[in-house]
Chain A
Amino acid sequence: MGTQMRGTAAPGRTPTSLSRRSRTKGGIGESTLRPDGTLKVIGEFAYSSDLWHEDMLWGFTLRSPHPHARITSIDISKALAQAGVHAVLTHDDLPTAHTQYGLEYTDTPVLADGVVRHHGEPVALVAADHPETARRAAAKIKVDYEPLPVVHDEASALADDAPILHPNRDDHHAGHVPHPNIVHRQPIIRGNAAEAAKRADVIVTGEYEVGMQDQAFLGPESGLAVPAEDGGIDLYIATQWLHSDLRQIAPVLGLPEEKVRMTLSGVGGAFGGREDLSMQIHACLLALRTGKPVKIVYNRFESFFGHVHRHPAKLWYEHGATKDGKITHMKCRIVLDGGAYASSSPAVVGNASSLSVGPYVVDDVEIEALALYTNNPPCGAMRGFGAVQACFAYESQMDKLAEKLGMDPVEFRQKNAMSQGAIMPTGQIVDSPAPVAELLRLIKAMPLPPEKQWETARGAADVRALPGGLSNTTHGEGVVRGVGYAVGIKNVGFSEGFDDYSTARVQLQVIGGEPVATVHTAMAEVGQGGITVNAQIARTELGVTQVVIHPADTQVGSAGSTSASRQTYMTGGAVKNACEAIREKVLETGRRKFGTYHPAWATAELLLEDGKVVTDSDEPLADLVDVLGDEVIDIELQWRHRPTEAFDPVTGQGFGHVQYSFAAHRAVVEVDTELGLVKVIELACAQDVGKALNPLSVKGQIHGATVQGLGLAVMEEIIVAKDAKVCNPSFTDYLIPTILDTPAIPVEVLELADEHAPYGLRGIGEAPTLSSTPAVVAAIRAATGLPLVRVPVRPEHITGT
């Protein structure tokens, strides 16, 4: 018989600090290998796009060619008449009155409801027995559009005669935005910036721009919806957060949540781009309509329209400093383009404003950040989430200030760097280590790559180490080196009072004479290595070698999102918490069974190690196998991080963030100044990770984030024309760094524990995305002497033509 507990965690359980290293193999701190790694490298990993079902149909989405138009009529008769077509759905066919969804505001139509608000918005769905048939049938749907005026930037969004894109807003920010085309606006006022500016010996202003970056995950949106006999549906899906999808899907289908059973399928990357729904509801609608399993797979072209992107931003900054290099004040205004629907724009605004100062001590600030509704593609979550845009701007300002003061840019930053105890512009005290100056010291101390590093022993140039690379553009002609530095601050976890929790169900039992732990969570493994870490935590806490990771699904409570650098903290914390409860049960059983045989059962602090109950002085008391016998201990518990609070809508004050994460970069670039081509040859990174649960994964996250930041610096941008149409939806025209563009990335890791977090760990996946971009741009500035206020930097910005 098993004991089963369900419900919320015991309140106030503090993380147990392990007084010594566990001897159980494969526990935390080891670089255990991920089970999906080799499969992915050799091409055998099953992604959601590989799903198959007997007798399944293929879904296809007809999308709007217009960024803003009224739909005057839709004629589906020719599409329906095509052989092989099983269903064609438009907005009129939706089963309930609940026809919109959304992460924060419920403002996104499942299918266009008479108006399309961005290029590529879904208008109709087709299910057919072959994907090609579905595609051809969709082409036969006749939609009449009446184009409407397009809102594409701040001026056109806030003009007196601007079309109001969402006239009947009922979201929680609607009441305090200055214009209905502003999704959310967050001011932060602390101290008196105007007064402090009088103390400044130098004042530096700048206007910066960040282009629209795409998550560019390699596995396009895909999934399989299978109708069930009970009238419900089973959805196999690649997502970042099963329960958030569920909350949005079920009401549209008119089903109770328990009848929508979701199972995570192989996820080919996410980076924020799978936080919003894409084809989930569409596949379910078609499956319920046809009574057959329906698969939808986007191709690369469609994927560019199928998910939200990083907010493009315009940022205006003013900083002042005294002659001796102390920052007096900061004022900034950050305008983010949220596109047609809200997605996670409000939270991105919160991040952009609250992190706009960077990891510096500035007591007098005047901050405003806002996101617009426009007819551009919707923007939402992407790695770095509002902090990326701000970091490019404030780090550019730091270099400008240092130059104006005649100071070394690293020393200037160190002089103003925050440390533990510093106060954020929101009034929040940074109550865990903030080793900003130390991180800068570490990257500056690393040896530089040799000059003319492209020269080989035989004297010929290795073109891979030069701008233009294999295109044979330069053998050193016109090449100038530059070095640049940057540092950033990122929050971890969901902020602003969000009830952020995760759930873990852990079972412990004897199977085949061995104690085996089963860990069941709804955590989406999107490539971050979470399942590896969860298994390590279970081994460490329960002292077992065999850990089974149950597939993630909605049969267990929510794990929250795989985003915001939060899963190791949150689901790792939930697994640890559940394991601790299991351990207590084990010891309880042990005391009952064996307590009379040895006094230590009652008196000593007991641990589970190597399949045994041991005392804190390493004396084994019993084998787990004997303690457990036939018993299955089965516990499901929710776990929360400490609560946060919303920012005041006027002053921006509030304990808004759970934890902060810091990384610094030094970039070394070679610039072909005649052609404007850049080769980043080294991006050294130093980061405080609190505690590296899996050092190899930590390094992998830092490498990946660094390269994604490099992409934003010099390659990646979705070009949206003035008419709000997407110009480059392909990997031929939207360039992402390949391994040949990836520089050497030496990594220095600090492990300064955060006492509030499990094992003292710090969420790590995003911080290096922030500082990578401004470090690269600073290096290009150093090589060229150009101001460079926009990313990505394009060749023409460097050649000045």
Chain B
Amino acid sequence: MTLPTSLDEAVAALAAMPAAVPVAGGTDLMSAVNSGLLRPAALVGLGRISEIRGWQYADGNALLGACLTHARMGRSDFAALIPALAMAARAAGPPQIRNAGTLGGNIANAAPTGDALPVLAALEATVVLAGPDGTREIPVGHLTAGHDPLRPGELLAYVRAPLLHAPQTFLKATTRTGPGRATASVALVLDPARRGVRCAIGAVAPMPLRPLEAERWVSGLIDWDGSRALEPEACTAFGDYAAMSCIPDPAEGELPLALAHLRRTVAALARRALERALS
């Protein structure tokens, strides 16, 4: 285990030991170790790299350090910047998990139920990767989907997210009152500058899904210069449209009951997300 104190040191340590696994909060990694699923040859601890534990402004965007904890993102000053990410962070787990678990870990782990992931998808955020040959920037989804995986010695350093200055929502379905694993989640952001509603559905597929047609349709209905209000029927239709595009009918036969329930859940969540964002 090495404990570098700067990004450069961390990258150098990873480059020197390609089999080493970077660890931040350890909330996913250590449970995999404890249950015998993972036996990392070496660990590079990221906890002492202060440059990636906070955030900064950069050209109308926020540059979020990969080691920002869920607890930090859940605080009200952060919620004023990126409300949906704060809401997702607050629902991500119990306090012990939120105090340790990080934004970068949520992305690197790429669990289908990762709560930050649909928010980042709706925000169209990017990740800044630091490697031995310098940095590069790619959409979050390219990394999580494995299109463009981390290269040897490369480290997830920052997330670049736009500051939209408009309502955002995140909600998920769990059968617990406390934070629980989502059966489905919805992140929805308004982008008044681009006159768009962007929405991503989490937990129903290996990665967040964007109902692009539903977004375009509903964006066209909204009076962006006026009250932004929509009729309830339009919100319902948006929910159904989004749900249908994420969980389409099978080519043949009936939709299995479990999926029908999931679709209904997504429709209700998406409708409520839009209603709340527009209210």
Contacts and interface: CB of A to CB of B under 8 A. Distances in A.
A188 interface: no
Contacts of A735: 175-176, 180
Interface stretch (B50-58, B130-138, B258-266): B258-266
B177 A470 contact: yes
Interface stretch (B13-21, B148-156, B166-174, B222-230): B166-174
B264 A740 contact: no
Interface stretch (B99-107, B117-125, B268-276): B268-276
Contacts of A472: 87, 91, 169-172
B172 A471 contact: yes
Contacts of B171: 468, 471-473
Interface string A477-496: 11000000000000000000
Given A471-B180, A796-B258, A675 B265 contact: yes
Interface residues of A, number: 33
B96 interface: no
A795 B36 CA distance: 33
A471 B91 contact: yes
Contacts of A474: 272
A617 interface: no
B257 interface: yes
Contacts of B40: none
B272 A795 contact: no
Interface in A666-716: 674-679, 714-715
A247 interface: no
A736 to B, nearest CB: 10
A801 B172 contact: no
Category for how many chain B residues contact A: 20 to 34
Contacts of A478: 268
A468 B261 contact: no
Contacts of A732: 181
Contacts of B268: 478, 674-675
Contacts of A676: 261, 265
A795 B173 contact: yes
Contact of A801 (B178, B182, B264, B272): B264
Contacts of B36: 135
A677 B171 CA distance: 14
A471 B36 CA distance: 30
Contacts of A473: 171-174, 269, 272
B272 A471 contact: no
Given A471-B171, A796-B258, A740 B265 contact: no
Contact of A468 (B170, B174, B275): B174
Contact of A299 (B35, B173, B265, B269): B35
A468 B169 CA distance: 15
Nearest to B275: A477
A301 interface: yes
A740 B180 CA distance: 11
A674 B276 CA distance: 16
Given A471-B91, A471-B182, A478-B268, A801 B174 contact: no
Given A468-B173, A795-B173, A801-B264, A740 B257 contact: no
A77 B229 CA distance: 73
Classify the secondary structure of B's interface with A: mixed
A566 to B, nearest CB: 33
B28 to A, nearest CB: 12
A756 interface: no
Interface string B230-268: 000000000000000000000000000110110111001
B264 A738 contact: no
Nearest to A793: B175
B255 to A, nearest CB: 9
B72 interface: no
Nearest to A464: B177
Nearest to A794: B175
Interface in A735-752: 735, 738-741
B70 interface: no
Contacts of A740: 176-178
B173 A675 contact: yes
Contacts, number: 94
Contacts of B181: 732
Interface in B174-208: 174-183, 185
Contacts of B177: 464, 468-470, 679, 738, 740-741
B90 interface: yes
B179 A714 contact: no
Interface centre among A675, A715, A739 (most CB of B within 10 A): A675
B87 to A, nearest CB: 6
Contacts of A677: 173-175
A675 B172 CA distance: 10
A796 B263 CA distance: 11
B179 A470 contact: yes
Nearest to A743: B177
Nearest to B31: A732
A169 interface: no
A475 interface: yes
A82 interface: no
Contacts of B176: 469, 471, 715, 735, 738, 740-741
Given A470-B91, A741-B177, A801 B170 contact: no
Residue of A135, A473, A715, A741 contacting most chain B CB atoms (<10 Å)? A473
Contacts of B260: 801
Contacts of A675: 173, 264-265, 268-269
A678 B180 CA distance: 14
Given A299-B35, A675-B269, A469 B178 contact: yes
B32 to A, nearest CB: 13
B90 A795 contact: no
A801 B257 contact: yes
A714 B172 CA distance: 18
Contacts of B91: 470-472
Contacts of B179: 470-471
A714 B180 CA distance: 15
A799 interface: yes
A738 B176 CA distance: 8
Interface in A113-147: 135
Contacts of B185: 471
A708 to B, nearest CB: 16
B277 to A, nearest CB: 13
A214 B160 CA distance: 45
A468 B172 CA distance: 8
A795 B174 CA distance: 10
A87 to B, nearest CB: 21
Contact of B261 (A135, A679, A738, A799): A799
Nearest to A672: B268
B172 A795 contact: no
B127 to A, nearest CB: 26
A470 B90 CA distance: 8
B261 A795 contact: yes
B170 A795 contact: no
Contacts of B178: 469-470, 738-741
Contacts of B175: 677-678, 714-715, 735, 794-795
B186 to A, nearest CB: 10
Contacts of B35: 299, 301
Contact of B264 (A299, A469, A714, A799): A799
13 contacts: A468-B171, A468-B173, A470-B177, A471-B185, A472-B170, A473-B171, A473-B174, A473-B272, A674-B268, A740-B176, A795-B173, A795-B261, A799-B264
Smallest CB-CB A-B distances: 10 pairs: A469-B177, A740-B178, A740-B177, A796-B261, A801-B261, A801-B260, A674-B268, A472-B171, A471-B172, A741-B177
Interface of A: 135, 299, 301, 464, 468-475, 477-478, 674-679, 714-715, 732, 735, 738-741, 794-796, 799, 801
Given A472-B170, A714-B175, 4 more contacts: A471-B171, A471-B182, A472-B172, A801-B260
Interface of B: 34-36, 87, 90-91, 169-183, 185, 257-258, 260-261, 263-265, 268-269, 272, 275-276
